[in-house]
Amino acid sequence: MAEVEESLRGQAEIWQNMFGFAASMALKCAVELRIADIINSHGRPLTLSQITADITDSPSPDISYLKRIMRLLVHKNIFSAHHPSDGGETLYGLTHSSKWIFRDSTTPSMASFVLLENHPVMLNPWHILSQCVKDGGVAFDKVNGGEFWDFVANNPSFDKLFTNGMSCTSDVVMGAFLPAYKNELVSIGSLVDVGGRIGAAVYEIVKSHPHIKGINFDLPHVVALAPDYEGVTHVGGSMFASIPKADAVFMKWIMHDWADEDCIKILKNCKKAIPEKKGKVIILDIVLESSEGDGMFGEPRLAFDLVMLAHNAGGKERTEKEWKKLLNEGGFPRFKIINIPSMLSLIEVYPE
């Protein structure tokens, strides 16, 4: 009997994983329709008819269609469902997960990142992973006709989607980083955010510690679109050529985009940019657990490693052992990993 049960469980797991995309697509649908925002704006659980009444640009929404989508999202704990004992309409409410997909809120949200990662441009590479195993190469390049960063630069609408996605994850990560690192920031006079896009992250640092001179450093065409932030200077350039000098270098979710040899070039430029004795590099990135898949963020971290595999040449998430080797080869023999309440870890790196 045990063998039969194990076999049946194995079959169920294949079914579950085979249709894993359904939850992702249902989540995207909820974000696009702003369902969490609609419920939140009323301050109470709503029926499907009340929800659809607030969906814009929809003169005749299909309630039965939405009902089936919401059933899966309730199962996934994205929303809650209360079935009145009197047989009235089901009331759909918010959960701890719902607040992370608000689009009309000032609180940190992952909504824009959901839309980015589930865009066809990002999803198409996943269909040829087996081909890449056989033939090598980068899946994104094969299906989209060029490298990821070139595609972003040459497609303004996708560039905007990418920037919005990165900005929302920045809000989420900075919300964990700033409280955890606030005391250490006191001793920093200037800080350069390498690959900072439009400068949202470094502005959050400067806003919380106004004594810091903030530098947002990214490609010229990226910083050209950056808004003015008090206390932040935008500088265009390439991190593979040189990095503006500062007391500290800040890199959030940069290193995982690049192969080891590219990261070593970046790290060597970081070392040239900071003071020899008191300078440091602050890295926010994933550190894979040695027992893969453990912890609250274990599975998403492993999944993100495959995102890097599908989208970037050489991009990957790294274990602590791999980080140690990489940092040492980049000229930083000493580092400290600090756990923060985030999918990312804080890696503090010293030149000696």
**Catalytic residue positions, numbered:** 256
What strands lie across the sheet with 345-350, from one edge to the other?
232-236, 213-218, 190-194, 248-252, 280-285, 345-350, 334-338
| Whole-number Å distance between alpha carbons of 129 and 71 | 31
> How does strand 345-350 pair with strand 248-252?
unpaired
Taking phi first (over 0 means left), then psi (-120 to 50 degrees means alpha), and beta for anything else, what does residue 197 get? left
CA distance 346 to 352: 18
3-state secondary structure of 321: helix
* Integer Cα distance of 31 and 8 in angstroms: 34
Tell me, what DSSP letter sits at residue 331?
T
- Chain centroid to CA 281: 21
Torsion sign over Cα 207, 211, 212, 213: positive
DSSP annotation of 128 reads G
Neighbours of 181 (CB within 10 A): 20
Q: For residues 50 and 61, what is the distance between their CA atoms, to the nearest angstrom? A: 11
Distance of CA 188 to the CA centre of its chain: 26
DSSP string for residues in 184-204: HHTT-SEEEEET-TTSHHHHH
